[in-house]
Amino acid sequence: MNKYIKFLLMVLMLIAIIAGIAFPIVAKPEHWYQFPVIPGLEEKARIIFFHVPSAWLSVLAFLTAMAYGIRYLKKNNLDDDAKSNAALQLGMLFSALATITGSVWAKFNWGSFWNWDPRETSIFVLLLIYGSLFALRSAIENEDKRARLSAVYSIIAFLTVPFFIFIMPRIMSGLHPGSADDNSAGPIVDFKMDFSMRVVFFISMTAFTILYYWMWRLAYKSIIIKEKLSNKLIRG
Amino acid sequence: MENLYNFLEKNSIFIVLFIVLIIWLGIYLFLWRTDKRLAKIEKELKEKENE
């Protein structure tokens, strides 16, 4: 990855962390460095700069896994399986992070760590779906067979992602911001954030996306190197 | 120094900020070093394949 993109990541993430944590939340923002109060969230609204990007990365990672799954089925190149596998691991990591951060936040906003809110239920089901993919992968020894099955599974599993992440939690009433009965109407990003809050939010999203790309590259490269070395050891 | 201490005691969110910044620096350095190390291993593997 280009050196300048790495520096860009450093700078963007610093901005996101400093602004996201330290910018004051006030009733009537007068300066660019002040955030507006979102009713019902107040200081706890800061989670949006870190929790939402994690959830976004899990969708992005599962999408990457599906894309490289399709590519593997087309070209039968095991490197594509490594890329798909690396994306799956990161997808699990980031959905677990989104779940844990959300759960800690829920304790202080909704009163309990787990409420079986539609969004909590949907991420739980997604974790189960993708978790079983790892069980499937570790159960098959033949590399090609494992890659093919995992590719097909990651394609089918991704079909459920838009439904579980974007549709179901929005059409059902629940506690999570953006649910159907959210009385101030509609997702927070569009209606309740002011300009500076939205800028910081998208800076954070960009920083997390670059971070994901970097981590993904490191992950799949190490998988490919490991496979190369083990092939050498076996074939001599 | 005393002023700074008093300020941080009243605005503890800045302590959280420093902690998160330090964690981010650590993660960033780790990624940077791992990237370098992997690139080196890739290069060595390629050289060995060409031999």
How many C-beta neighbours within 10 Å does residue A34 have?
Answer: 16
**Closest chain A CA to residue B34:** A218
Cβ of B16 and A222 within 8 Å?
Answer: no
Query: What pLDDT, on the 0 to 100 scale, is given for residue A185?
Result: 44
Cβ of A229 and B17 within 8 Å?
Answer: no
Predicted confidence (pLDDT) per residue in A180-228, tens digit: 766 554 455 555 678 888 899 999 999 999 999 999 999 999 999 998 8
How many C-beta neighbours within 10 Å does residue A190 have?
Answer: 10
| Min distance B35 CA to chain A CA atoms (Å) | 6
Cβ of B42 and A225 within 8 Å?
Answer: yes
**Closest chain B CA to residue A19:** B17
Chain A CB contacts of B41 under 8 Å are 225
Cβ of A225 and B16 within 8 Å?
Answer: no
End-to-end CA separation in angstroms for chain B? 62
Instruction: Kindly state the tokens that stand for B9.
Output: 């005691």
- Average pLDDT value for residue range A86-104: 95
Identify the residue among B27, B34, B46 best suited for mutation to test binding to A, counting A beta carbons within 10 A and taking the highest.
B34
Cβ of A21 and B31 within 8 Å?
Answer: no
Segments of chain A assigned E as strands:
25-26, 35-36
Identify the residue among A200, A225, A230, A235 best suited for mutation to test binding to B, counting B beta carbons within 10 A and taking the highest.
A225
Instruction: Kindly state the tokens that stand for A132.
Output: 């079983």
Q: Is the distance from CB of A65 to CB of A84 less than 8 angstroms?
A: yes
Predicted confidence (pLDDT) per residue in A109-156, tens digit: 888 999 898 889 999 999 999 999 999 999 999 999 999 999 999 999
Identify the residue among B7, B20, B23 best suited for mutation to test binding to A, counting A beta carbons within 10 A and taking the highest.
B20
| Min distance B13 CA to chain A CA atoms (Å) | 7
Predicted confidence (pLDDT) per residue in A158-174, tens digit: 999 998 888 888 888 88
Query: What's the CA gap between A1 and A21, in Å, rounded?
Result: 29
* Residue % of chain A over a pLDDT of 90: 64
Instruction: Kindly state the tokens that stand for A35.
Output: 């955030």
A94 contacts: CB under 8 Å, gap ≥ 6: A54, A55, A57, A58, A61, A212
**What ipTM was predicted for this assembly?**
0.88
Q: Is the distance from CB of A69 to CB of A152 less than 8 angstroms?
A: yes
| Min distance A121 CA to chain B CA atoms (Å) | 29
SS3 A38: coil
Cβ of B13 and A22 within 8 Å?
Answer: yes
**Residue ranges of domains in chain A:** 3-235
| Min distance A60 CA to chain B CA atoms (Å) | 20
Burial category of B20 from C-beta neighbours within 10 Å (exposed 0-12, middle 13-18, buried 19 and up): middle
Distances (CA, A) of A112 to A100, A115, A116, A183: 13, 6, 10, 21
Cβ of A218 and B38 within 8 Å?
Answer: yes
Residue type, A106: A
End-to-end CA separation in angstroms for chain A? 32
Strand partners, A135: none
Query: What pLDDT, on the 0 to 100 scale, is given for residue A214?
Result: 96
Instruction: Kindly state the tokens that stand for A174.
Output: 């629940």
- Average pLDDT value for residue range A47-62: 94
| Min distance A18 CA to chain B CA atoms (Å) | 7
Distances (CA, A) of A106 to A101, A173, A177, A195, A207: 9, 16, 11, 26, 25
A52 contacts: CB under 8 Å, gap ≥ 6: A189, A201, A205
